[in-house]
Each structure stands twice: as structure tokens, then as C-alpha cells.
Amino acid sequence: MTGEIDPEGNLGGRDTMTRLADFLFEAGMLRRTPRTGYQFLGSGGENVAEHSFRTALIGFVLAKMAGADPFRTAMLCLFHDLPEARTGDFNYVNKLYNRCDSERALRDALSGTGLEDDVLPLFHELEASRTAEARLAQDADQLDLIVNLKERQDLGNPYARKWIECSLERLRTDAARELARAVIDTDHTEWWFFGPHKSWWSRKNGGEAKE
């Protein structure tokens, strides 16, 4: 794999700019890396890049709610699944039988990029889970799943509710539990079906709806 280091740490003479290009191509692999849990749910699906994007947004929101650093929380979320470009996504069933070295994967991805001192501490902070930002980032990871599960429930998947209940038990912060309750109580179509104008659906060919 491009950018993989050998046991002596040799990068084959690739300079920093080339390694940064490698890094960007590698990050793009997350668009083609599926989140594997949905095969058990029976409906829905997403890739790791999609998951990471909304998790970062959720982390930002949770940190604002909790009075923590929203920017650091979002960065913890943004990078949290980057190793999966190399390892793939292991769902809860997979993890019963398989192990992966996420830290090694991340170190190899970052080696020679000059980003090591910025990104590796985020990985270690998230793993240690001692800071408010790390706990909020972990909850953002779960909340993104809960949002997807609520969509599946609204669309008729009978198992989504059970998965939501399990995910709720994993939440660690009051902010996440509060936001999760709002998600569960909100139909996933309301943001567009009832707005920006309550009668948008009666507007035709650019004409104004009658009040």
C-alpha cells in the first residue's frame, strides 16, 4: 500500500508533499469503505466518510451545548475513523472474532506527512476518554448512528427501535442524552416537509401559494 512503512521506517524516499498527496488519496478511500453494521439491521447504509462528516457536526453541536471546546471536539470526530481506510470497518459482531491495530494503521497513514504531532494526540485523547471533548466525541459517534436508526424506524424497519435502545445506553454525557431525546421525538422529514414555508408543496411553477 502506498505510504506503508517497512520495519526500518523506510518510506522509499517519498518527500513530504508526496506523502501529503498520498494522505489525501488515502482519506478518499473512506468514501468507498462501507459501514458494515447495516447488513445486520437489514436496511440502510453509509460509508465511513459520510459517517465521519456528520459525527463531526454532531460533536461541534454537543460541545456547544456542554460548554466544551467545539473545535477540538469536531477534530476528534473528524479523524476518529481515519484508520478504517486501511483496516476497514469492524461492526460489533466482527469485533467478537477479529482485532485490528488502529494505532499502527494511523501511524503508517501519517508517516512522513508532517501531521503526526497534530493527529496522533487526537487518537490518544479519544482512546483515553479523560477529557470532556473526548467523551463528547464518543457520544457524537453514537448519536450519528441514532440519527440513522431513527430514519430507519420512521421508514418502517421494526428492528431499528431495539438498536436505538442499545445505543442510548452507551451515551455518556447529559448533552448527548438531551439531544438524543430530541432526535427520537422528531420525524426525520420535518425539516424539509414543513419548511421553509408551511405551504411550499402548493407552490407550482414558481407561483405564490394562496394564504
Give the integer Cα–Cα distance in Å for 104 and 110. 10
- State residue 2's pLDDT score: 44
- The pTM is what? 0.89
Neighbours of 207 (CB within 10 A): 8
Q: Give pLDDT tens digits along the chain (211 positions).
A: 444 444 445 566 789 999 999 999 999 999 999 999 999 999 999 999 999 999 999 999 999 999 999 999 999 999 999 999 999 999 999 999 999 999 999 999 999 999 999 999 999 999 999 999 999 999 999 999 999 999 999 999 999 999 999 999 999 999 999 999 999 999 999 998 877 666 666 665 555 555 4
- State residue 14's pLDDT score: 87
- State residue 1's pLDDT score: 42
Report yes or no: 111 and 5 within 8 Å, Cβ to Cβ: yes
- State residue 198's pLDDT score: 65
Give the integer Cα–Cα distance in Å for 179 and 197. 25
Residues ≥6 apart with Cβ < 8 Å to 200: 209
DSSP 8-class letter at 43: S
- State residue 83's pLDDT score: 98
Sign of CA dihedral 113, 114, 117, 119: negative
Cell reading at 143? 448519536
- State residue 68's pLDDT score: 98
List the domain boundaries for the chain: 16-188
Give the integer Cα–Cα distance in Å for 82 and 5. 17
Give the integer Cα–Cα distance in Å for 127 and 103. 10
CATH level 2 (architecture), domain 16-188: Orthogonal Bundle (1.10)
